[in-house]
Structure 1
Amino acid sequence: MTVEQNTQAPVSAEQRVREEELVARVLASFDGTPNRRLKEIMHAAVRHLHAFMREVRLTEEEWKQGIDFLTAIGHITDDRRQEFILLSDTLGVSMQTIAINNEAYADATEATVFGPFFVDNSPEIGQGGDLAADVSGQPCWIEGTVRDTEGRPVPGARIEVWEADEDGFYDVQYDDDRTAGRAHLFSADDGSYRFWGSTPVPYPIPHDGPVGRMLEATGRSPLRAAHVHFMVSAPGFRTLVTHIFVRGDELLDSDSVFGVKESLVKDFEEQPAGTPTPDGRDLGDRTWSRTRFDIVLAPADV
């Protein structure tokens, strides 16, 4: 990705009029749109796109590079890799969409990016189960509660969890159709949940494609702060998509998709080998970690 320096010359009054007239004609072409919301979106998209082009005085070659960039994103996207989500994430658009659609409510847990690696139909585990399966990494005990903003427990909440292995890869990034590092469980009658996973580690988003080339050209890192994904849903509540992050991670301030929020940074306390585990699991001479994540769901109608 290369963009040549463009030294802008002053825009004459006549030229401004020509450009504004074009914007007006394009806007008018959508006046007959029967869906009012679609008309609103198209009008805003046209105004902002043309304003961007006019502000930077976009050249025809730069516009072609932009089209080629988006075309490359389409070509690399398939049922296992979503490059458009990566683009949305790295431009902060995903987080802005989340901010708009998950307004703060009481002490409800904050939302963050969905990411490109969620897969439907994850295996179910019981309380205290192990979602790590054959995932490499340090075992991690994660526990907490699910409650509403009045402090009442939410029983039967579906808790989807997925994470990368210690090499920074999700199961879907391998070619052997494995299912590992992902599962779901349900909160108990008192709202509690607990399971074994892996201690999260930093990793790069896929950067061997057009989004990676964009990051390289702009001097940005593809690295994400260490995290575990959660999606929590229950009837009558707003579905929560979020992460928890590791306190002390050097990447908390430079997460490549802008997903870190202070309220989601948790202590992952490392336990020496031989320390008794909460469920009596024998880990032999392995160290392990533990953390707590109490989840608060907002009502569905806010």
Structure 2
Amino acid sequence: MTEYPLFSEEKSVEAVNARMGDAVSPRMRAVMATVVRHLHEVVKECDLSREEWAAAIQFLTDTGQMCSDWRQEFILLSDVLGVSMLVEAINHRRPQGATENTVLGPFHVEGAPEYPNGTDIRLDGKGDPMRVQGRVADVEGHPLPGALLDVWQTNDAGYYDVQQPECQPKWNFRGRFRADADGRYAFVTARPRYYPIPDDGPVGKLLAQLGRHPNRAAHIHFIVTSPGFDPVITHIFDPDCPYLTEDAVFGVKDSLVARIEPAVDQQGWAVEWDFALIPASTLQPGPVAPSS
């Protein structure tokens, strides 16, 4: 029988990590050893009391209990702590000129209707109309015909359809569009507005305790896919939003701030926005976590 080191404050990390079995995968061993090491460092550096650790456990419990079919409180927690954006950055190290990723967010819904290019996705007819059009291509400018764009955003009041199923049409401000033979796409939506992430749960309470507001900078969500290419999960942001540099989930990047201009007919707004994808084979993976 293996004799493991006994637990002590000084050797707590070694005592816990030594218990992993021989059959554990190298990746699992590396990740969990690192998690244990940093978690124990936090407890020691902060000199946590039993009451504080109990409060942390209760916070995680409350976070899990807040999750539902349409709300994922743990995604919100990951987002407001900047972890979601860090994971995106590590896993999508793209070359200059390629469209950058940002957070998926908790309100994407699979299976939105696919519409012809130019369709208005304002099913409630509200908001200042804004035509979004552009091109999907590779980083060398070659068009990607048939590329699929999955689009979603809040309504003019700052709520996603799944947050208000009783008063918004299903699939309001959601749709999928196919790039044509030249890689071009187009749709009509409303000029986005800033909105608060759901702050009636434990994550909202945490933000308040940290002196942070819950507002997201005004944006439109996109997932852009084409066979053989790395999927792009991203936003475009309104340059005039007052929360552009204070986005609650750290999602704003300089390269994702759009230029919004009056429409040619002066009826609403217009955005020209191109997406540049890279072949999946050229993606640079992040490093494996150290095992020590």
TM-score normalised according to structure 1 size: 0.88
Matches within 5 A, 1:97-116: 97-116=87-106
Q: Among residues 136, 146, 157, which one is paired with 1:156 in the alignment?
A: 146
2:279 corresponds to: 299
Match status 1:73 vs 2:63: yes
The residue type equivalent to 1:198 in the other structure is A
The match for 2:201 among 186, 206, 209 is 209
Aligned to 1:288: 268
Structure 2 residue matching 1:129: 3-state secondary structure: coil
State the one-letter code of the partner of 1:137.
Answer: G
Determine the C-alpha separation between the residues in 1 that align with 2:271 and 2:138.
Answer: 21
1:228 partnered with 2:220: yes
Is 1:125 matched with 2:115? Answer: yes
1:151 positional shift: 1.1
Match of 1:276 among 265, 268, 272: 265
Cα distance per residue 1:129-177 (max 9 Å; x no partner): 1122215211110000000011100110010000001110000001337
Select which of 234, 248, 254 maps to 2:240. 248
On the 8 A contact 1:138/1:198 being kept in 2, the answer is yes
Q: CA RMSD in A?
A: 1.4
AA in 1 matched with 2:111: N
Partner Cα distance (1:24, 1:178) in 2: 53
Partner-residue secondary structure (3-state), 1:183: strand
Structure 1 CA distance for aligned equivalents of residues 149 and 195 of structure 2? 23
Secondary structure of 2:37's aligned partner: helix
Structure 1 equivalent of residue 46 of structure 2: 56
The answer as to 2:185 corresponding to 1:193 is: yes
Letter in 2 for 1:230: F
Unaligned runs of 5+ in 1: 1-16, 278-286
Deviations 1:194-240 (A, max 9, x none): 11111100000000000000001111000010000000001110000
Mapped contact 1:142–1:197 kept (Cα < 8 A)? yes
Distance 1:203 1:293, change over 3 A: same
Choose 174-183 or 206-215, whichever is displaced more: 174-183
Which of 17, 35, 42 aligns to 2:32? It is 42
Identity among equivalent pairs (%): 44
- For 2:15, the aligned partner's letter is R
Partner of 2:76: 86
- Matched residue of 2:10: which SS? helix
Q: Distance in 2 between matches of 1:226 and 1:288?
A: 17
Bigger relative contact order, structure 1 or 2 (CA pairs below 8 A, ≥6 apart) = 2
Tell me which moved more, 157-166 or 123-132: 123-132
Post-superposition Cα deviations, 1:224-278, rounded to whole Å, max 9, x if no partner, equal 100000000011100000000011221111000000001110111134xxx638x
- Are the counterparts in 1 of residues 12 and 40 from structure 2 also a CA contact under 8 Å? no
Instruction: In structure 1, give the amino acid aligned to 2:170.
Output: R
TM-aligned CA deviation for residue 187 of structure 1: 0.4
**C-alpha distance in structure 2 between counterparts of 1:56 and 1:294, whole Å:** 47
1 CA distance for matches of 2:131 and 2:173? 14
| Structure 2 unaligned spans of 5+ | 1-6, 284-292
Contact 2:137 2:277 in 1 (8 A): yes
> CA 1:135–1:93 in 2, change beyond 3 Å: closer, same or farther?
farther
Match of 2:161 in 1: 171
Q: Which residue of 1 aligns with 2:256?
A: 264
Alignment of 1:130-141 (within 5 A): 130-134=120-124, 136-141=126-131
What secondary structure does 2:234 align onto? strand
- Counterpart of 1:42, as a letter, is M
2: CA distance, partners of 1:178 / 1:45: 41
